[in-house]
């Protein structure tokens, strides 16, 4: 006779008062539920019941399906059960800035708020699991999903993803860190075989995932599509068991990226978890359409021990218990599309904008002095929120830059014109993007005007705003899931047009570059005022205007080194970017590490960002460091200008006594300081002995050697203001 499948009254009473349980309570509830399930019911926990759902949990206090949703900057509209089409009418949600923008804030508090908004909007929609954040390191500027990630540096990505995850999970929603691991390009992501040495893997590509597990307690991890040393990431024993479970003690569940499951028994025996795909293609574990149970059959044939299935199912139940889904506990209430969420979207966006140049002090703009404004570039009025693949959103409104300028300057004439360059977008094979759920928008030709017409309009305007960069989509140099950009450089016609416009030397020309990744520009030396923004979501135009007009003093910092040429990047010089078999032979020299090593000066360095005021930094002293204690740096930061502003104190480490090959410097800590004019504050930053470690491939552990280390304190990786040396007395090893 089948066992009863209801949780006992004792268990329900114990957990009814709270949702996000502690680990022991959640594990107890999960085991209670597991003990009452049949083998078939256990396998149903390990495969989708549709494109974005898991089957109702037998034994839970609710018979509702567990529901998932993308992404890292919004809650995507619901997809139909068996495919990629949206359920109509589509739900609306706040669209926050992209993670590439969040990374440019260099602010853990904004990361927490970002996560909290997404958690609240998930709860209001009845979504149990958010498929974010994405933390893959930017290895190549061509990667189509750089805009969805947190930059090139593992420390920056790790420190921002932790509060993001905690913010999401504070609303009793499971966060999902992705894509585990070595998914650093979209080109052939479903077939490419990736090879990396163990030291590079541990020092560059794993730290954000480790922080998500060990510091944030993330409840789910999504595997990547690629192979790792010939084995699919979704069934790779070394990464899924050796690293995730054995080393890091990950308690949650692994979920494949959609369509990333390749086997049944082999995947289960090598740390596999939940299989997801477009609903009617889920078939390796349990087929929700036919009812077939390949995993249960593999157990019955003796290919997979029932204990393995128990462990897999227990991990899913653990996450469900942690969020209160399994126990029926009262979960935190959510809300969406509120004025507060819209305010956060706008303020976070403004905080992320990077002022790259302001040579003649053209910014901030004086609205009262602006009577006739010309905006060049049709992208300034083309909405982006519903583009980009699985990270696309559906918003109640979207404010473009042109719309925001028009609203901001009701007394002025604000005109929009295209570039004096014709660019044709050839049709592109978008198969991969479609398989990944991207909604393809075909674009064949960009509007353009004659040079004479544009010149006349520009000279008649008192302010010229030029808007350039990339857009979201699946063609040529657009950024999107499922494909990489074709070229690093801005298309040649637009490069020529930018030179032409800047050569006019209009006295008030402001250039705004929007992209989620570095773009090849040849004209930046001619631009007096240059702002860098990423995709800022539904409040993009307002956020940019807040900076343009000085309501917000720009304080964003680049989260990516901006090369002058693609040929200057490590992947180009090392020849390690292709569609079949990749060896990361640049090793740990990623981003600014590569530029330091090779002596190549970038267009703009990692961490760079100006403001409408100036700052001074001085090291007051360093405490600690003995007996294994962290070093505490006390840095005095003074606002030496006339406006309130924020500065990011960046601390790098260098290794004068290194016994092995080390980078010239590496980011170890940062802090953002808010100062009134003339005000001085002391920022305290901590560096642990483990922070100074490298991965010892012989001992399979992190190792900090005895000796002297140099700490470099500055406003970017190339702008070091002060430095000092610290001493480590004894060599230390760290198991992880």
Return the active site residues.
257
Question: Residue 734 belongs to what H/E stretch?
Answer: strand 732-734
Q: Which residue, chain included where needed, has tokens 């393809």?
A: 440
Please give the Cα distance from 40 to 677 (Å, whole number).
67
Identify which of 42, 129, 57, 58 has the alpha carbon closest to the alpha carbon of residue 312. 42
Do 15 and 318 meet the contact criterion of CB atoms below 8 Å apart?
Answer: no
Q: How many CB atoms lie within 10 A of CB 440?
A: 16
User: Cα-Cα-Cα-Cα dihedral of 116, 119, 123, 126, to 10°?
Assistant: 160
Please give the Cα distance from 232 to 224 (Å, whole number).
8
What does the block give as tokens for 300? Answer: 């019955």
Question: Residue 177 belongs to what H/E stretch?
Answer: strand 174-180
Q: Is 44 helix (H, G, I), strand (E, B) or coil?
A: helix
Question: What radius of gyration do the chain's Cα atoms show?
Answer: 26
Strands (E) across 552-679 are located at: 581-583, 615-624, 631-639, 645-654, 666-675
Do 157 and 194 meet the contact criterion of CB atoms below 8 Å apart?
Answer: no
Identify which of 618, 616, 624 has the alpha carbon closest to the alpha carbon of residue 724. 618
Give the orientation angle of helix 154-169 with respect to helix 207-214, to 10 degrees. Answer: 30
Residues 6+ apart with CB under 8 A from 535: 73, 97, 98, 100, 101, 147, 384, 388, 472, 514, 516
Name the β-bridge partners of 176. Answer: 220
Which DSSP letter does residue 390 get? T
Residues 6+ apart with CB under 8 A from 112: 163, 164, 166, 167
Taken as a whole, the chain contains a residue count of 736
Q: Is 457 helix (H, G, I), strand (E, B) or coil?
A: helix
In the chain, what is the greatest distance between 2 CA atoms, to the nearest angstrom?
86
Do 554 and 355 meet the contact criterion of CB atoms below 8 Å apart?
Answer: yes
């Amino acid at each position: 006779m089948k066992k009863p499948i209801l949780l006992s009254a004792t268990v329900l009473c114990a957990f009814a008062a709270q949702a996000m349980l502690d680990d022991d309570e959640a594990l107890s509830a999960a085991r209670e539920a597991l003990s009452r399930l049949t083998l078939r019911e256990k396998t149903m926990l390990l495969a989708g019941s549709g494109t974005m759902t898991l089957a109702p949990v037998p034994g839970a206090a609710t018979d509702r399906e567990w529901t998932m949703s993308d992404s890292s900057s919004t809650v995507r509209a619901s997809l139909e059960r068996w495919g990629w089409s949206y359920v109509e009418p589509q739900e609306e949600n706040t669209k926050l800035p992209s993670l590439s923008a969040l990374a440019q804030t260099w602010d853990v508090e904004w990361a927490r708020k970002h996560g909290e908004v997404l958690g609240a909007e998930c709860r209001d929609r009845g979504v149990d699991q958010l498929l974010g954040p994405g933390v893959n390191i930017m290895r190549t500027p061509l990667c189509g999903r750089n805009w969805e990630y947190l930059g090139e540096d593992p420390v920056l990505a790790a420190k921002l993803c932790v509060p993001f995850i905690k913010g999401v999970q504070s609303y009793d929603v499971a966060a999902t860190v992705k894509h585990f691991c070595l998914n650093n390009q979209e080109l052939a992501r479903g077939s490419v075989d990736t090879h990396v040495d163990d030291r590079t893997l541990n020092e560059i590509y794993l730290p954000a995932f480790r922080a998500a597990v060990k510091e944030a307690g993330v409840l789910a991890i999504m595997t990547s599509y690629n192979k790792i040393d010939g084995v699919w990431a979704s069934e790779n024993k070394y990464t899924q068991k050796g690293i995730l479970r054995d080393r890091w003690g990950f308690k949650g569940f692994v979920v494949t990226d959609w369509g990333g499951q390749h086997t049944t028994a082999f995947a289960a025996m090598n740390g596999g978890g939940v299989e997801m795909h477009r609903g009617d293609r889920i078939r390796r574990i349990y087929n929700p359409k036919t009812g077939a149970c390949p995993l249960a059959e593999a157990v019955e044939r003796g290919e997979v021990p029932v204990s393995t299935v128990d462990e897999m199912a227990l991990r899913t139940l653990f996450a469900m218990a942690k969020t209160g889904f399994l126990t029926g506990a009262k979960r935190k209430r959510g809300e969406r599309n509120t004025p507060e969420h819209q305010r956060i979207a706008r303020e976070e966006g403004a905080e992320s904008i990077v002022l790259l140049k302001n040579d003649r002090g053209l910014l901030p703009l004086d609205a009262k002095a602006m009577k006739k404004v010309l905006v060049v570039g049709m992208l300034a009025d083309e909405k982006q929120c519903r583009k980009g693949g699985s990270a696309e959103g559906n918003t109640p409104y979207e404010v473009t830059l042109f719309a925001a300028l028009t609203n901001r300057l009701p007394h002025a004439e604000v005109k929009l014109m295209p570039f004096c360059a014709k660019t044709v977008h050839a049709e592109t094979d978008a198969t991969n993007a479609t398989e990944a759920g991207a909604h393809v928008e075909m674009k064949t030709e960009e509007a353009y005007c004659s040079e004479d017409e544009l010149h006349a309009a520009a000279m008649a305007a008192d302010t010229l705003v030029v808007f350039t960069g990339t857009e979201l989509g699946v063609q040529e140099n657009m950024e999107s899931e499922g494909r990489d950009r074709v070229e690093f450089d801005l298309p040649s016609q637009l490069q020529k047009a930018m030179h032409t416009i800047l050569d006019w030397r209009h006295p008030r020309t402001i250039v705004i570059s929007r992209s989620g990744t570095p773009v090849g520009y040849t004209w930046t030396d001619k631009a007096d005022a240059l702002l860098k923004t990423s995709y800022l979501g539904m409040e993009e135009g307002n956020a940019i205007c807040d900076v343009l007009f000085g309501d917000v003093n720009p304080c964003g910092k680049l989260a990516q080194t901006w090369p002058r040429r693609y040929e200057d990047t490590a992947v180009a010089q090392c020849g390690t970017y292709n569609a079949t078999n990749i060896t990361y032979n640049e090793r740990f020299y990623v981003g600014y590490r590569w530029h330091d090593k090779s002596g190549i000066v970038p267009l703009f360095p990692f961490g760079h960002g100006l403001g409408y005021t100036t700052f001074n930094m001085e090291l007051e002293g360093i405490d600690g460091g003995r007996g294994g204690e962290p070093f505490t740096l006390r840095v005095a930061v003074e606002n030496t200008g006339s406006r309130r502003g924020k500065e990011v104190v960046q601390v790098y480490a260098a290794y004068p006594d290194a016994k092995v090959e080390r980078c010239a410097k590496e980011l170890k800590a940062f802090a953002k300081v808010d100062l009134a004019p003339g005000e001085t504050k002391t920022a305290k930053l901590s560096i642990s002995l483990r922070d100074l470690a490298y991965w010892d491939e012989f001992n399979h552990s992190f190792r900090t050697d005895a000796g002297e280390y140099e700490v470099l304190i500055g406003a970017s990786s190339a702008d070091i203001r002060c430095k000092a040396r610290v001493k480590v007395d004894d060599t230390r090893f760290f198991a992880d």
